[in-house]
């Protein structure tokens, strides 16, 4: 499974993140915070780099590990708790699931 997932995971995450931004009237460059499914650290770092985001524009969930569908919600909570996700920010939550499915949603956090 890993051999089949590795080559398609990053491109599919980027595809759904870009799509979520575009459907919401934003460019991916407008992302202020990324709340993503807990993955291996190297993939998390590749996502941030591909989106032009800094490490402080996301939360790596090494303190919780992978908790399945709750990962992006925990990342949003941790982002808010640590001050990385601020009022007026454009946040994108992204996840993946069984069956080679990926999804993302753009969130205007509070008042913009």
Determine the Cα–Cα distance for residues 66 and 16; give it in Å rounded to an integer: 20
Please tell me the predicted confidence (pLDDT) of residue 63.
Answer: 79
The pLDDT > 90 percentage for the chain reads 72
Q: Residue 49 belongs to a domain with what CATH number?
A: 3.40.47.10
pLDDT in tens, 55-98: 999 999 877 766 777 899 999 999 999 999 999 999 999 999 87
For residue 7, name the pLDDT band (cuts at 50, 70, 90): confident
Q: Global pTM?
A: 0.91
Per the CB < 8 A criterion, the answer to whether 110 and 85 are in contact is: no
> Which stretches does DSSP call E strand in 1-42?
33-36
| Domain of 81, in residue numbers | 2-108
Pairing mode of beta strands 101-108, 33-36? unpaired
Q: How many folded domains does the chain comprise?
A: 1
């Amino acid at each position: 499974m890993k051999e089949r997932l590795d080559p398609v995971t990053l491109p599919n995450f980027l595809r759904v993140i870009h799509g979520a931004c575009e459907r919401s009237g934003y460019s991916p460059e407008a992302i202020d915070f990324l709340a993503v499914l807990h993955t291996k650290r190297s993939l998390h770092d590749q996502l941030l780099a591909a989106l032009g985001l800094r490490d402080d524009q996301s939360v790596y969930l090494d303190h919780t590990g992978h908790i399945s569908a709750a990962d992006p919600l925990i990342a949003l909570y941790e982002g808010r708790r640590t001050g990385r996700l601020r009022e007026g920010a454009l946040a994108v939550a992204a996840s993946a699931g069984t069956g080679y499915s990926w999804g993302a949603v753009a969130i205007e956090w509070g008042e913009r």
